[in-house]
Amino acid sequence: MGSLPIPDSRFAHLDEYPMDEAFMIMRDFALDAHPHKISLGAGVYRDNEAKPWILPSVREAEQLIVQDPNTDHEYQPMAGHPPFIPLAQELTFGPLMASLSNRIVSCQTISGTGACHFAFRFISEVTSAKRVWISNPTWGNHHLLWDISAPQVKQQLYPYYNAKTCSLDFEAMIQTLDAEAQPGDIILLHACAHNPTGIDPTPEQWAVIADVCERKQLFPLFDSAYQGFASGDLDQDAYAIRLFAERGFELAVAQSFSKNFGLYGQRVGALHIVVSRSDAVPSTQSHLTKLVRGEFSTAPVHGARIVSRILSDAALRKQWYGDLQVMSSRLKDMRRALYDELRRLGTPGSWEHIVDQIGMFSYTGLNEKQVRRLRDEQHMYMMSSGRASIAGLNTSNVAAAAAAIDAVVRAEKQA
């Protein structure tokens, strides 16, 4: 009996989608056999031995959870692990909870990526927004998430980074929004530790941004991925969100616990929506719950239990504050060490922006050609935009990293 001919595949017409650059860099770094290679690409915290760091508070909370005979693996409510939701709200809004508690709608999400996805889809649908304003540059996944979650919403860019000065292009940002934004547009804002630049507005500048949003009737949507991790101060890192909430804005916050709890693989996140009237809460909650049911029914519980256990236990919470200080202080120390070493080498250019920026990432000012030479000649990996993960630096490699940068900068000058 002859074999049947193989039919054409229904999927043969698909173009291969390019691999995400961050994960491609991680793959290439893993394949590099050089003994002194340096990874400044991955957006994950590493300790001074370049190893993953489980926060001591997280380790202790996890042991308590596992040892608890009442711990089970049952489904959670669709809105999320019940103790987790109010604690996540309190972390974000702090003392404003007294006045906002009856106007906040929340659900647990698949980390910050899932929170952004839900926010983009839900807000665009219920507000019928035609455009969203996104900083130039932004976290690369923001654009993909909008394409997938709300393709009908046109993505507009507002200026953010001044390449000549390696600083915030604040005047251009405000002028663009004032001239071109329309009532009903969404604006995507980074709550702190802007990714990829590491450059945040000052409190005074945030007030001006809020003025523009109010004047132009924009809907603020905050991506909050680094609260406490950026500065070590939970209140300071939530300043912008609370400023807008206190001024009476309806807004949304996509919250991630990957960085500040080190729970990268547990995918713990939340979406919070502040509405102007309490009678809008039940219907808003029902629509969010519908999205949850249609996508994953209930969120993973283990990571949410860890967060809840820490935030609800005074001793563990205090210990977690110390863990935040360890991480944020090490990043600041590595920024200073890299800057000092570049200064010692006399590397051409101005490098003050490295210590002026905040959080995990630095927009180094290196161009794509220099980044490629760093990889090919120096075995040092970072994003083609020049974004470097400061967490990849440590006392053993920071001098080598500075020497590598010095080498490629001088080579370009001499070419």
Residue 226, both tokens: 């680094």
Q: Within 10 Å of residue 246's Cβ, how many Cβ atoms?
A: 14
Phi, psi of 273 (to 5 degrees): -125, 120
User: Active-site residue 178, yes or no?
Assistant: no
User: H-type helices in 128-164, by residue range?
Assistant: 140-149
User: Active-site residue 28, yes or no?
Assistant: no
Q: Buried b vs exposed e over 170-193: b needs ≥16 C-beta within 10 Å?
A: beebbebbeeebeeebbbbbbbbb
Q: Within 10 Å of residue 340's Cβ, how many Cβ atoms?
A: 16
Strand runs labelled E in 21-153: 38-39, 104-110, 131-136
Q: In terms of C-beta density within 10 A (0-12 exposed, 13-18 middle, 19 or more buried), how is residue 241 classed?
A: buried
Omega prior to 18 cis, within 30 of 0 = no
User: Active-site residue 259, yes or no?
Assistant: yes
Percentages helix, strand, coil for the chain, rounded to the nearest 5? 50, 15, 35
Task: Exactly one of 169, 185, 200, 223 is catalytic; name it.
Answer: 223
Task: Exactly one of 53, 133, 169, 259 is catalytic; name it.
Answer: 259
Q: Nearest Cα to 124, choosing from 249, 273, 269?
A: 273
72 contact partners, CB below 8 Å, separation of at least 6: none
Task: Exactly one of 53, 133, 139, 146 is catalytic; name it.
Answer: 139
- CA 205/CA 210 separation, integer angstroms: 9
Looking at residue 193, what DSSP letter applies?
A: S
The whole-angstrom distance between residue 69's C-alpha and the CA centroid of its chain comes to: 35
Instruction: Supply angle C-alpha 151, 154, 157, rounded to 5.
Output: 130
349 contact partners, CB below 8 Å, separation of at least 6: 365, 409
State whether the Cα torsion 380-381-383-388 is positive or negative. Answer: negative
165 contact partners, CB below 8 Å, separation of at least 6: 353
**Enzyme catalytic residues:** 139, 223, 259
